[in-house]
Structures are given as structure tokens and as C-alpha cells.
Chain A
Amino acid sequence: MNPVSIIWKFLVTVYHRLGSPREFYQIAQYTTPIFGLLSLVLFVCGAYLGLFQAPADYQQGDSFRIIYVHVPAAWLSLFVYMVMATAAAIGIIWRMKMAFVVAICSAPLGAVFTALALITGSIWGKPIWGTWWTWDARLTSELILLFLYFGVMATYHAFEERKTAEKAMAMLAIIGVVIVPIIHYSVEWWSSLHQGATIFAEGGPRMPADMLTPLILMILSFMFFYGYALFLSAQNKVLLNERKSQWVKAAISAAEK
């Protein structure tokens, strides 16, 4: 057997195991603490380097240190949406139960990251731009993203029957994905107060290493946090969805004793 087919077989096995709520629940028991720990370690390192070691910006002074929570939150607001829309599409195409769980559990997390990006951006904008809020392309499209998350959550909870709710929620999530490139390119397509790309700029990152390293650590920390929180809430959702099944009852009875 060649390496490619071994890797492919491994991925198919992972897909099928994660696709079953029971197997997912068992795997999540081990992966959840790993994600949580990684996120915490990266957060502590990133916060230390970002708040103590990185030099003050020559234009913005120490206020630029807001970037270490603002950019990770904004990044995650888009990343979570991509995961949610992909999971929704997988759920609709292959009728995979767990994909819908991932999608519906991602929505509130994405909403929190989006709200954080908007609020920290607003607090940062006050001293640097001189205003809390302006209706420009980047800010407005990010606000629409927040309402999309709310829309996905509201759609899911509007239906009694779970299968209908899952399908309706997934369709809205998939249609809404057009907002992601709009937000990303908004600073290029329209004139905006918001600055352009810093990390994925043409000709490499426009930041010295001692400012960039903590930013990357914080982004990684937020990504692992999303994984951690997703595992936690997906476990809750699986327990609720499968509460009448024998394996859930057995697992709960075993934990009680």
C-alpha cells in the first residue's frame, strides 16, 4: 500500500468515526482538554509578549496593543463562519448528523467573536480615528455578519422539528457565505478608515517580528479556543439530541456511580 492511500484510509476512518454522535462523544472526551490547554498556553505567551515585550508603535503608541485581541477576534469571526458554512454544506449534501451539530454550535461562538471584534475596534477607533463608529464598508459588513449569525441561530430555534430546523439553518448559513469575501476585500474595494491587510499583505507581513510574533500566538490561541469551545458545546448538543438513546443513558449511569 502506498502512503497516499494509507493517509486517505485514515482520513475516511476519522470522518466516519467523527460522523457518529457516539464516537464523536468518546473522541471529544480526550481532544477537548488538549485544545483548551493549547489555547491557554498560547494565550499566556501571546499576552506576555504582546503587553510586555513588543515595543510601542511609533504612531499609535501603546494603544496598538488592542490589535492582539481585535485581530484574533475579527479573524475568528470569518474563520468560524467558513467552518459553519462548510459544515452546513456537508450536512445537507451527505446528510451527516454531526455536521449540523458543528454548524449550529458554531453560530453563537462566531457571534461572540464578531461582537468582540466590533466592540474592541470601536474602543480602538475612538482615540485613533476620533470616532466610535462610522458607516464605512469594513465596519458595516462586519455588523451584517453579526446579524447573519443571529439569523442562523433564530432560524434554527424557529422550527419545532429538528430535521427541518437543521436544513433551514444550513441553507441560510450557506447563502450568507458571500459576506466573507466582502468583509475581507472591503478595505480594498471601497475607501475606508480601516487600515488594510497587515499579515497577508503584498510583499510579506508589514510588521516587525517582535510585534508580529505575539499577534500570531494570539490568533492561534483564539483558534484553539474555538476548537475547545466547539467540542464543549457539541458534546452538550449530542447529549441533548441523543438523550433517549441507550449509549447516553449508559454513559450517564456509569458517570453517576
Chain B
Amino acid sequence: MNWSEFFHMGGYAFHVWSCWALSTACLLFIVAFAKFRNARIKRDIARQIQREERHQNNS
């Protein structure tokens, strides 16, 4: 079996590859979204801590 035959998937290239690509993309998106959200939440909490420290030093 050569590569072009493999990608051709016996005439079902569109169906097989779109399903696999979509599934992989969805899984990667879930991970990327969670990691991005994690970074944002941690940044927000860190800023809140800094604000509170400044507030304490001023008063």
C-alpha cells in the first residue's frame, strides 16, 4: 500500500478524514480552552492578591 492509496481511503477520503480531523480538533480544543482558562483564572487571582496587599499597605 502506498501513501496516495492510503489517503484516498478507497474513495471515502472526505468521509473518513473529515471525521478523524473533526474529532481530533474537538479534543485539542477542549484541552486548549481549559489551559487558557486556567492561566486567566490564576492571573486574575494573583491581581486580586496584589490589590489587597496594596490596600493593606495604604491603610
Contact = CB atoms under 8 A, between A and B. Distances in A.
Given A68-B20, A243-B48, 4 more contacts: A51-B20, A63-B10, A63-B16, A255-B42
A232 interface: yes
A139 interface: no
A89 B17 CA distance: 40
B15 A252 contact: no
- Consensus secondary structure, chain B interface: helix
B22 to A, nearest CB: 6
A228 to B, nearest CB: 8
Interface size band for A: 35 or more
B29 to A, nearest CB: 8
Interface of A: 36, 47, 51-52, 56, 61-63, 65-66, 68-70, 73, 109, 112, 115-116, 119-120, 123-124, 126-127, 225, 228-229, 232-233, 235-236, 239-240, 243, 248-249, 252-253, 255-256
A236 B41 contact: yes
A68 B16 CA distance: 10
B19 A70 contact: yes
Nearest to A221: B27
Interface residues of B, number: 27
B19 A123 contact: yes
A233 B31 CA distance: 9
Contact of A232 (B10, B22, B26, B38): B38
A112 B34 CA distance: 14
Contacts of B23: 69, 73, 116, 120
- In the A-B complex, the 4 residue pairs with the smallest Cβ-Cβ separation, listed nearest first, are A62-B10, A232-B34, A63-B12, A69-B23
15 contacts: A52-B6, A62-B9, A62-B16, A63-B12, A66-B20, A115-B26, A116-B23, A124-B19, A229-B34, A233-B34, A235-B38, A236-B41, A239-B45, A243-B48, A256-B46
B52 to A, nearest CB: 9
B22 A56 contact: no
